[in-house]
Structure 1
Amino acid sequence: MNGDWGPVIVIKGDHKGKIGYYDDNDSLFSDEENIDPDFWDSDSWRDVEGVEEENLKALDVAIVYFGDFFIAKGYYLLPHDYIRAVTTDDLMKRREELHDLCGRFARIRDPDLDVEPEEEDSFLRELHYVDSTLVDRMIEARYSNVENGASIFISHSSEDKPFARWVATDLKASGHKPWLDEWEINVGESIPAKISLGVKEADFVIVILSENSINSNWVEREWQNKYWDEVSSGNIHVLPVLYRDCEIPELLKTKKYADFRNSYNDGLEDVLSAINHLVPSVE
């Protein structure tokens, strides 16, 4: 993810699970001392050409701060294959972990919690960054405009609203234009009319499948309207997302669904891959 600056999560190494700010790039060279021994297993080492020293290799690394740039005590150099861009799910889970480690009620919940003051300070700085990143992502998802990307209507039950909000936020962060009822329908506007227009103008309808949604007539009408457009046009418009175990609707049983039940991030990756693959067919 060289150059994709911003919030990242560490996926391997000593700092696995931490969330930080990817600020810039640097390089380490194989003739340097004090290189982390784990880094030698990185897949990112490359040959350096045009130098006198034979077999000299370089490792491109990211400069990462665990905390806001202005309050973090220092930075870390991490190979690019050690990090990836965060999702809303990553942020929420890490937020919960950090609250258990350094939150106001952490020691009440766990009287045996043993965290050194310096370590607790580090956790607090990271928690501040995670909280501010979550707020920024939610505000940007709701109010910022995206020029390109696919228009995506998110069909969901009201009981599944938090999950729908996460998916919409990550779709927006990936450059698409999600349509979520609470973002698009203002006080006094006709709910059926706005939803009908949203479905009609969408390139895709993501239908979030759960026991809640399959028992909702609203949800059924939303995705079925787009389903028949799909049948008549021959282009794929309905993307099923399995959020919770449920009986798959008959019309969707032949479709492959994105499975979020065990891994939010794997499900999101499948959805984004499908959208990016299908967008040319709907333009």
Structure 2
Amino acid sequence: MANVFISHRGVDLDPAERLSLELRRRGHTVWLDEWEIGVGDSIVEKINNGLTDSNYLVLCYSEAGSLSSWMGREWMSALARQLDGAGITLLPVRLTGGEPPAILADIKYADLVADWPGGIRAICNTLR
């Protein structure tokens, strides 16, 4: 099963957690900030460890607007590592709406807004 890092906006925690639980129920190991970062932890260290240990980064688009600065750092890091052959794959997901960054516009995304069950199936078909 896959190690999956979920990158989302804070305002989208509920649907991001729903997505994370769906993936976890299917046997995948899921890194979600709310589950992994505790009081007193180094946020940067925890995120770095989560990204390093993941095979996939699920980038959740949001109707709340453009991607946050934390998300930008997460997906740009994953994309750079993917292009260098580091064994991580970026999976765009339309979680609550929004559009992909221009550099990712040619990558097919899972659309959980239009079809939640179908989007989950599409994500899981990609995870190995």
Normalized against structure 2, the TM-score is what? 0.93
Displacement of 1:234 in angstroms is 7.5
**Alignment RMSD:** 1.5
In structure 1, the partner of 2:59 is 207
Distance in structure 2 (CA, Å) of the matches to 1:211 and 1:220: 16
Q: Cα 1:183–1:234, aligned 2, differ >3 Å: closer, same or farther?
A: closer
Aligned length: 128
* Deviation per residue, 1:136-172 (Å, 9 max, x gap): xxxxxxxxxxxxx211000000000001100110111
Contact 1:200 1:226 in 2 (8 A): no
Give the percent of matched residue pairs that are identical in Structure 1 and Structure 2.
34
Distance in structure 2 (CA, Å) of the matches to 1:213 and 1:201: 28
Q: Are residue 228 (structure 1) and residue 75 (structure 2) matched?
A: no
In structure 2, the partner of 1:256 is 108
Corresponding letter in the other structure for 2:43:
I
Aligned with 1:183 (options 35, 58, 66): 35
In structure 1, the partner of 2:17 is 165
Corresponding letter in the other structure for 2:111:
D
Corresponding letter in the other structure for 1:255:
I
Contact 2:57 2:89 in 1 (8 A): yes
Distance in structure 2 (CA, Å) of the matches to 1:259 and 1:226: 20
Q: Cα 1:195–1:233, aligned 2, differ >3 Å: closer, same or farther?
A: same
Aligned with 1:216 (options 56, 62, 68): 68
Displacement of 1:224 in angstroms is 1.0
Displacement of 1:253 in angstroms is 0.7
- Work out which of the two has the higher radius of gyration on C-alpha atoms and give 1 or 2: 1
Q: Cα 1:234–1:193, aligned 2, differ >3 Å: closer, same or farther?
A: closer
Displacement of 1:177 in angstroms is 0.2
After TM superposition, list the pairs within 5 Å mapping 1:14-33 onto structure 2: none
Corresponding letter in the other structure for 2:15:
F
Normalized against structure 1, the TM-score is what? 0.43
In structure 2, the partner of 1:105 is none
Q: Secondary structure at the match of 1:198?
A: helix
Q: Cα 1:236–1:188, aligned 2, differ >3 Å: closer, same or farther?
A: closer
Contact 1:157 1:213 in 2 (8 A): no
Contact 2:65 2:98 in 1 (8 A): no
Unaligned ranges ≥5, structure 1: 1-148
Distance in structure 2 (CA, Å) of the matches to 1:215 and 1:155: 10
Q: Are residue 196 (structure 1) and residue 36 (structure 2) matched?
A: no
Q: Cα 1:244–1:182, aligned 2, differ >3 Å: closer, same or farther?
A: closer
Distance in structure 2 (CA, Å) of the matches to 1:194 and 1:241: 23
Query: Which structure exhibits the higher relative contact order, with contacts defined as CA atoms closer than 8 Å and separated by 6 or more residues?
Result: 2
Distance in structure 2 (CA, Å) of the matches to 1:236 and 1:199: 9
Contact 2:57 2:88 in 1 (8 A): no
Displacement of 1:235 in angstroms is 5.2
Q: Secondary structure at the match of 2:108?
A: coil
